[in-house]
Amino acid sequence: KEIDTRGLNCPLPILKAKKALSEMASGQLLKVVATDGGSVRDFKAFAQQTGNELVDQSTEGSDFIHVLRRR
């Protein structure tokens, strides 16, 4: 599953990711595309707090890509 949170600032990308993860089965991957530079730090903290695995983080142009695995 993929969600586009471009143009949204903290905490909206996290909230949208949380909602999407709640609708997914364990082990499924969620790709979040964000433009908020703070989202890199935010998703690391979010993964630690929720027990979901942060599989990958990368930057493509002005986009920050976060991939989470549902716990």
What residues act catalytically?
A: 10
Contact assessment for residue 57 and residue 65, using Cβ atoms and an 8 Å cutoff? yes
- What is the C-alpha separation between 11 and 43, in angstroms, rounded? 10
